[in-house]
Structure 1
Amino acid sequence: MTTTKKIIMKLACATALGTAGVALTQVNRPQITVNAATTSVAARALGVDVASYQSADLSSHAQAGSQFAIVKVSEGTTYRNPKASSQISTAISNNMMPMAYHFATFSSNSSAAVDEANYAIKAAQTFGLPKDSYIACDYETGQGNNIYGGKTPTANAIIAFMDQIKAAGYKPLLYASSSVLRNNIDTNSVIVKYPNSLWVASYAISGRIDNPNFNYFPSMEGVSIWQFTDNWRGLNVDGNVAVLPLSIDGNTTSNDGAISQAPSSTPSKPATSSKQTNNEPTNNEPATSGYVMKKSYVYNKKGERISGSYASYTNINYYGGATKLDNGKTALKVGEDRYIMASNVLGNSRVLKHNAYVYKNNGYSRANWRVLRKGTPIKTYGSRSHINGKSYYCIGKNMYVKCGNF
């Protein structure tokens, strides 16, 4: 996927802490024997997507546990990935199921979408992608692609692309962020024609994630693949999980089946301090799982502080959406007449006014190598933190940005 997408999505979607598998530093891993067939993978199989800025040889990705590889083959009608042939062949030789994607620049123009689909098909054939493989339309901002052409015209153009892919003997997919799928595309019309055709991108936290946590799955119909990180297992490559079984030989579930949902995952009960009592509502309100990113005290509906607190990075259940307490503060309901500040879980949207580094909670060490670019939207959690005489906003687990950059 594009650099623009990587910068924006990983920050805009950094709404919560991932699983215990999340780490921000490299660790040594044992060699893994991958048992996937090159023509099919089971649900919950892990995979990567790669472009020209990844290695031409995907052996290390297979050794890390990748069972499928989605290779960029083309963009617009003038660009082909020079590494695609090697990436597809090394995926196959390492027993990974190969797929492909094309970066769309047709905006909401259906005629241009057909031209780009034909270009993608020829590229995929040239690079040795097996017949009946998946070819995704990567639809996002970048390279002149305008995602604001209207939800219906955009969906019509995407369907025109997918129709051409299917007519050529391949299985069409649509890749986009959960935000674009919800706000910029009539996604329902896409999945009515092509059930289970969505490859959705949504990250629980900015930084390395080793394994998907389905508590953070962006629930929507029609999803076959979830891209859950842009730094899988420290390899600086997008990480994906198959939500359904996938096959390029027609023997297992494909995007011609019934509309899908993510595999069920039972959220863990809230972990609380010794003072906290988990008084769940008695009116059968549905619970949403989330992470407290900063220590949160408990308040009643009047806005008065009462007993109990949640430690930083605690997994909780909350009920309903954000609500106003009597004192005007925005809060989340965590029990009968028990609330915590919503900003500690949902965060506040801010835009960087200056380029910024990300620091650990000591204020000195860099949390990662990234430079966050001016103009990037980012979620911050809770109020300001004062570290060594300077003010920071928390943007994730042990990740802080100086307040002066906003």
Structure 2
Amino acid sequence: MKFKTKLITLVVAFLAAISFALPSQVNAAKGDIGVDWAVYQGANGKYGTNNKFAIIQAGGTQGGTLYDQWTYASQVKAAQANGLKTHTYLWYGVGGSADIGRQALDYFLPKILTPKGSIVALDYEDGASSSMAANTDAILYGMRRIAQAGYTPMYYSYKPYTLAHVDYQRILAEFPNSLWIAAYPDYQIRALPDYGVFPSMPGIALYQFTSMHAAGGLDGNVDLTGITDSGYNGSTTTDSGKTYVKPSTNTPATNAGQQANNTTLSQIKVGDSVKVNFGTTRWANGVAMPSWVQGKTYTVQQVSGSNVLLGGIMSWINRSNVELLTTTSVPSVSSGSTYTVQSGDSWWSIAYKYGMSMYTLAANNGKTISSVIYPGDVLRVSGASYSSHTYYTARSGDSFWSIANKYGISMYTLAANNGKSIYSLIYPGEDLYIR
């Protein structure tokens, strides 16, 4: 969610802001920091530090034109797997038309993938009509429908737009503490809210305090009342620091997220999506990791011992330094199972399909990953002989020649088996496939 006009900076004393925003009741989520995601955050979302919740766009309507957000389901799964309480929002460009609101809610309410009781917010920041009463009627219609469906309704916008187009007091009279209001002090990266520019008005439950919660842009929000507990029965944190949320009800998306959440790091396999933990500073080989990798999501391309290879940047990282977001199902294979190569296939794409290393797949068929495969070739994809393969972890001073000599193979074969040439660099801690 982004502003359409420049915000008017409001200088408000910190204590005055708190007196408007924070009720006396203490909730578990009060003070938690979270994010909201749309298509710009990709299939698995984007993270700031120490996030506890995510509010995810399912789609919306603009003057009666409905659209789905293709990232909604996968982002819900990823957030659940990462231990975040997940909620939903809709772009609500209905102007002053309750009828357009009806069409939107008829379409989207059956598609909500977050648990019953969770937030479903209406994003109303563009396209208002000239009638404040009609605009407010359309918003209240949508919020009533959300409440009737068993979710927690909220209204999102920013203060100047709300004051100009909406009678928010009518909203609060029917839905107390249901406002989600944005106000940014600047466009610098911010981890925590600056209450000096808090949009002082009653009934604010969520405060969106920045659009730069992380480099490259990410909305950051603070829960002022504990409203993000809605739809959840608490959470459990393990000794290792992993958090498991407990949705009040399940949906296909939250079920999938919980499956990933319950999968241990030792079970990570090729094809799974993982997020690099904040605070990770080194790759598996000890080389310093750039800070921009932290919080990013990658697909696992290979697994070797305690390390996983991150697709796209082709770097190895210890599995203890990642969080599993989505886990793939592996086709059932039995001894002697085969796969017929199709046009466009590669060693990697076939191995991904069966949860294998591409090096293992190639070796099981008497080839290397440098070997060409053709449509119609029949490859063995059985897992029967996986355990017979040998890997070596490079040490300081090693070379392709010294490692190849140790195992009685050609250094050219060793390099090719690992997608390299003998002129490629190898680093201490790097796992190499031997045979």
* TM-score normalised by structure 2 residue count: 0.47
SS in 1 for 2:41: coil
Task: Describe the SS at the equivalent of 1:112.
Answer: helix
Contact 1:101 1:136 (C-alpha < 8 Å) held by counterparts: yes
Unpaired segments of 5 or more residues in structure 2? 15-26, 235-435
Counterpart position of 1:56: 43
1:248 is aligned, of 222, 230, 236, to 230
Equivalent position amino acid for 1:226 in 2: Y
Shift of 1:235: 4.9
Question: Which is richer in helix?
Answer: 2
Q: Which has more strand, going by share of residues?
A: 1
Check whether the contact 2:47–2:214 (CA below 8 A) recurs between aligned residues: no
CA distance in 1, matches of 2:156, 2:181: 6
**1:92 maps to which residue?**
80
- Aligned residue for 1:403? none
Cα pair 2:85 2:232 within 8 Å, conserved: no
Change (3 A) 1:13 1:66: farther
Structure-1 separation of matches of 2:177 and 2:67: 28
Question: 1:110·1:157 contact (CA, 8 Å) conserved in 2?
Answer: yes
Q: Is the 8 A contact 2:44 2:74 kept in 1?
A: yes
Match of 2:201 in 1: 220
The 5-angstrom pairing of residues 229-268 of structure 1 reads: 229-246=210-227, 247-249=229-231
After superposition, the CA RMSD in angstroms is 2.5
* 1:55 CA displacement: 2.3
Structure whose alpha-carbon radius of gyration is higher: 2
Q: Give the corresponding residue for 2:94.
A: 106
Query: What letter matches 2:41 in structure 1?
Result: Q
The amino acid of 2:218's aligned partner reads: V
- In structure 2, distance between residues paired with 1:165 and 1:108: 18
User: Which residue of 2 is the match for residue 179 of structure 1?
Assistant: 160
CA distance in 2, matches of 1:74, 1:50: 11
Q: 2:32 matched to which residue of 1?
A: 45
- Per the TM alignment, residue 16 of structure 1 is displaced from its structure 2 partner at its CA by 7.3
Q: Which runs of 5+ in 1 are unaligned?
A: 20-39, 253-406
Partner of 1:138: 123
8 Å contact kept, 2:10–2:199 = no
Contact 1:74 1:123 in 2 (8 A): no
Q: 2-side partners of 1:251 and 1:202: how far apart?
A: 30
Partner amino acid for 1:135? V
Q: Distance in 1 between matches of 2:9 and 2:141?
A: 33
The 5 A counterparts of 1:112-191 are: 112-124=100-112, 128-141=113-126, 146-191=127-172
Partners of 1:50 and 1:72 within 8 A in 2: yes
Range 182-191 or range 213-222, more displaced? 213-222
Task: Select the residue among 1, 7, 17 that pairs with 1:12.
Answer: 7
Instruction: Name the SS for the 2:39 alignment partner.
Output: coil
CA distance in structure 2 between the partners assigned to 1:136 and 1:66 by the alignment = 19
Q: Is the 8 A contact 1:50 1:70 kept in 2?
A: yes
In structure 2, do the counterparts of structure 1 residues 250 and 95 end up closer, same or farther at CA, with 3 Å as the change threshold? Answer: closer
The AA in structure 1 aligned to 2:219 is D
Moved over 3 A (4+): 13-17, 249-252
* 1:66 counterpart letter in structure 2: N
Match of 1:68 in 2: 53
Would you say the 8 A contact 2:136–2:171 is kept in 1? Answer: yes
Alpha-carbon contact 1:13-1:206 (below 8 Å) kept: no
* C-alpha displacement of 1:249: 3.6
Contact 1:41 1:68 in 2 (8 A): no
